[in-house]
Each structure stands twice: as structure tokens, then as C-alpha cells.
Structure 1
Amino acid sequence: MLHTEQPTSLNWHDLVSLDQLDELVARSHTRPVAIFKHSTRCGISAMAKFQLEHHWDLHPEEVDMYYLDLLTYRPVSNEIAERFGVWHQSPQLIVLRQGEVAYHTSHSAISVRNLRKALAA
């Protein structure tokens, strides 16, 4: 995707309820949706979040980014694993397209570069 305007900073949408999952699936039919599953007690998770935020250069229309505090919202995290058939990990990045998992990764493989590649695929 070629853009002439400058990218904006990463604009997280909080994922806090099971009802939101249906909304995310519906939204993924018009543009990619990414879920970042974050443990607030994990140094690796904190580093992955920092890397995403520090290196963020994607434009808002490229992907909707959702942030899930999986310790606070454990039922949402569990439902994601069950509904999408993705083994739970933390930290974890899951991209939905057309209601399906198009990409997922975890730990040190979480990066803006890898997300960009996944969005281009």
C-alpha cells in the first residue's frame, strides 16, 4: 500500500469483552484486524509491546490494532484460542482477515516488519 501522508502512532483499541470478538470478526471482512495478547507481568511481552509501539509506521487504514490484557480479561483470551484454533501464547499477535486467522506469531517474532509482511501476503 502506497501512502503519501505520514504514518501515525499506534492507536490501540482495548479488547475487553467477548461481545467484541464478533465485532472484530465482522470488521475483518473489510480490513485486517490484529489482536496483541499482552501479559502485564511478563518482560518479553513488555518488550514486544514496546517494539510495536516504537517502530510503528503503518497507517490507520492498513490494520485495526486491538490490545488484550490477558491477565485481566482471561475469558477473552481463552475464547480467542478456542474460537480461532490458535494455541495460547503470551505475548501473541493474531491477524484476522475475512473472519479467519491469516497470521499469528509470538514472543520475539512479534514486530512491525513481520506484521507488514503478513498484511502484504
Structure 2
Amino acid sequence: MDRAPVFLGHALIVPTAHVEHLLVADPEVVIEVMRRSQEVAIAAMDAYRADGILTVTNTIVSQSVPHLHVHVIARHQGDGGLRGFLWPRKRYSSQEELLEYRDRLRGSLVGRSPYASD
């Protein structure tokens, strides 16, 4: 879960092995990262009753963490849009709230993905 989410429930898909960014990633890593991103996006639609999903990966510019990752962000009609694209970000009110959103997403992944406990 992103610790400074654009919207609550904002998840990150991050490969275990270090890859600096999309342009230098092995195609097999890209396939796996996107496959998992799709699984999480489908689960987020269900878990958060989302109207849509935004998936984003920064490549070099605006990449604050030099490690390949994909943002999976649940969107709702009337959510205020992406003012300034992905800023300002929201904050979870507590670690418990972050864990609640994580657990809702995990619960929606059960039965869809062999990686639901990851």
C-alpha cells in the first residue's frame, strides 16, 4: 500500500528483484508486473466498489524511488480528479486504517491470485 496515497486504497506493485525502471526491465519482469497489476486492479474494483482504476508507472522523471513499480489507484465518479495529476496526496488517519484498506484488497484477491498473501 502506498503510504501517501492519491486516494485511499492506492496500491503498489513492486518486483522483488531490483529493476531501476521500465525501460531497462527484462520483458519477462514487465509481463509479471503487469499481470499482477491487472489482478490487483480487478480486486480493487471489487474491494472498494470503484468506478475505474488508474494504473501508472513513472519512468525516470518524477520517479522518487529508483525501483520499478506500478501504482494501482481506485477511482470513483466525483472523487475530485487528480488535481495537479497525482498531488496533493492523502494520508491514512492511522496505521490501522492503512491495514484495513490492505486487508480489504487482500480479501478481494483471495481465489483470484496465488499471490494474495504477498
Q: TM-score range by the shorter chain?
A: 0.3 to 0.5
TM-score, normalized by length of structure 1? 0.34
Computing the radius of gyration over CA atoms, which structure comes out larger, 1 or 2? 2
More helix by share: 1
User: So what's the TM-score if we normalise by structure 2?
Assistant: 0.35
* Larger strand fraction of residues: 1
